[in-house]
Amino acid sequence: MKKFLWAMVVIGLGIFSAAQAPAGSVPAKAKSPAAPSSAASTADWQKKWDDTVAAAKKEGELFIYLNAPSEARTIIPEAFKRKYGITLNVISGSGIELASRLVTEYRSGIHQVDAYMAGGTTALVAKAQGVLAPVTPLLILPEVTSPKAWFGQNIPFFDKDGTVFTYLSQVIPPVIYNTGLVKEGQITSYHDLLKPEWKGKMVMYDPTVGGAASFWFTGLTQELGSDKANEYLTALAKQQEVMVTRDMGQQMEWVTRGKYPLALFPQTPAVSQYLQAGAPVAAAAFRELTLVANSNGGFAVPKFPPHPNAATVFLNWFLSKEGQTLAVKGMGAPSTRIDIPPDNVNPMFVIKPGQKYILQSEELTQDTRKWTEGWKKIFAR
């Protein structure tokens, strides 16, 4: 068996039942940090919660860095304001932009943000610079602290240190195509992308930054080995003249308008947004590989939040059934809570019962870093 983590989903063994499948998954090899003690009485957690809410209302606001579709940036702050009367200020951007900004601010002694909400991979950029705090001590509500609330009966952390809570877990579609230009079934393998008919007709998200493309290239490298994977990627870049972009919205816009028939390894927030808008696009899956990631569904808290109580209240509310219902609606991806049905989630994002998949984790991300410099040379312009 190869070095990377294979997650086997077997109905007969009860590892992943049909009822649980939409809820996503968590790394099988990583052990979650211990959840807060369940021995605490109701009065204990309730008093702590009431005191925190009261202090949060005095703070009156908090600031978050958020990588999410526009709908999520609207409905989540509105719902939180109605619930607690606390203003949720949102600064949006890509995961890597927000992580880099957070690190730069901390180096300058600026502590203006209370939460970082983006992908687990980009959150590790901030973690590596020592600017994130463990999330576990901030969890209060029993419906959040109970491992039984989450798939796999574990608190779903992206990393072994518990600094990134993964609240989404979804299948990453490798190819999105314009249904007016590409027929269903034309793309069933990553080998199909090297066919002459697709030369100059593909736009790909940049694999040298965190995101779906880097995750896919990591899975491919683990599957084929570094040499064969680089041969394939070189053919994709040079022979097929693939266009590379870091603008996830632009990538989907180009495919929707037909400028490029195929979008390779697009960012799922943009895919979800265009699907909800009725864009003429569909997904093509590779028969060889299925990858599951937290996409932009990671929640981290900086070490010095300016509104610590408001940040704690928002964290607990957002991870509750109420908050996660809004997350699924606004982000178009399955929650790792097992009590949130993926009613408005496109089936392309939901793990199928019996499906074998590669699961994103901190360990896999570390492998990605080993190969990124080689990818930069391949896709250099």
* CA-to-CA separations, 362 to 31, 125, 128, in angstroms, rounded: 12, 11, 12
Same domain (yes/no): 113, 68? yes
Is 355 within a domain? Answer: no
Residue 314 above 80 pLDDT? Answer: yes
* pLDDT at residue 41, rounded to an integer: 67
* pLDDT at residue 2, rounded to an integer: 36
Closest Cα to residue 15, out of 33, 28, 32, 2? 28
Is 1 within a domain? Answer: no
- Burial label, 164 (beta-carbon count in 10 A; 0-12, 13-18, 19+): buried
Establish how many alpha carbons lie within 13 A of residue 60's alpha carbon, considering only the half-sphere containing its beta carbon. 1
Q: Coil, strand or helix: which one is 47?
A: helix
Same domain (yes/no): 39, 102? yes
Is 80 within a domain? Answer: yes
Is 303 within a domain? Answer: yes
Q: What is the mean pLDDT of the chain?
A: 86
Same domain (yes/no): 208, 300? no
pLDDT band at 357 (very low <50, low <70, confident <90, very high): confident
Same domain (yes/no): 59, 190? no
E runs forming strands in 21-83: 61-66
pLDDT tens-digit map of 4-50: 333 323 222 222 223 333 333 333 334 444 444 444 467 899 999 99
Residue 183: count other Cβ atoms within 10 Å of its Cβ.
8
pLDDT tens-digit map of 274-287: 988 999 999 999 98
Same domain (yes/no): 150, 298? yes
Is 42 within a domain? Answer: yes
Same domain (yes/no): 26, 78? yes
Same domain (yes/no): 316, 262? no
Same domain (yes/no): 189, 154? no
Placement of tokens 């574990």 in the chain: 154
pLDDT band at 381 (very low <50, low <70, confident <90, very high): low
**8 A C-beta contact, residue 218 and residue 364:** yes
| Rounded percentage of the chain residues whose pLDDT exceeds 90 | 60
CATH number of the domain that residue 107 is part of: 3.40.190.10
E runs forming strands in the chain: 6-7, 61-66, 87-92, 115-118, 132-133, 165-166, 170-171, 175-178, 202-205, 243-245, 262-264, 281-284, 291-293, 298-302, 357-359
Establish how many alpha carbons lie within 13 A of residue 56's alpha carbon, considering only the half-sphere containing its beta carbon. 28
Same domain (yes/no): 372, 223? yes
Beta bridge partners of 266: none
pLDDT band at 145 (very low <50, low <70, confident <90, very high): very high
What mean pLDDT is predicted for residues 186-208? 95
What mean pLDDT is predicted for residues 286-310? 92
- Give the integer Cα–Cα distance in Å for 188 and 286: 5
* pLDDT at residue 19, rounded to an integer: 31
Is 8 within a domain? Answer: no
Is 324 within a domain? Answer: yes
pLDDT tens-digit map of 242-276: 999 999 899 999 999 999 999 999 988 788 889 88
Same domain (yes/no): 30, 50? yes
* pLDDT at residue 16, rounded to an integer: 28
User: Alpha carbon 30 to chain centroid distance?
Assistant: 17
Is 22 within a domain? Answer: yes
- Range of 280's domain? 171-293+366-378
What mean pLDDT is predicted for residues 227-233? 94
Same domain (yes/no): 310, 268? no
Q: Rounded to a whole number, what is the largest CA-CA distance in the chain?
A: 68
| For helices 70-84 and 268-276, angle between their N-to-C axes, nearest 10 degrees | 90
Same domain (yes/no): 164, 180? no
* Number of structural domains the chain divides into: 2
pLDDT tens-digit map of 65-86: 999 877 889 999 999 999 999 9
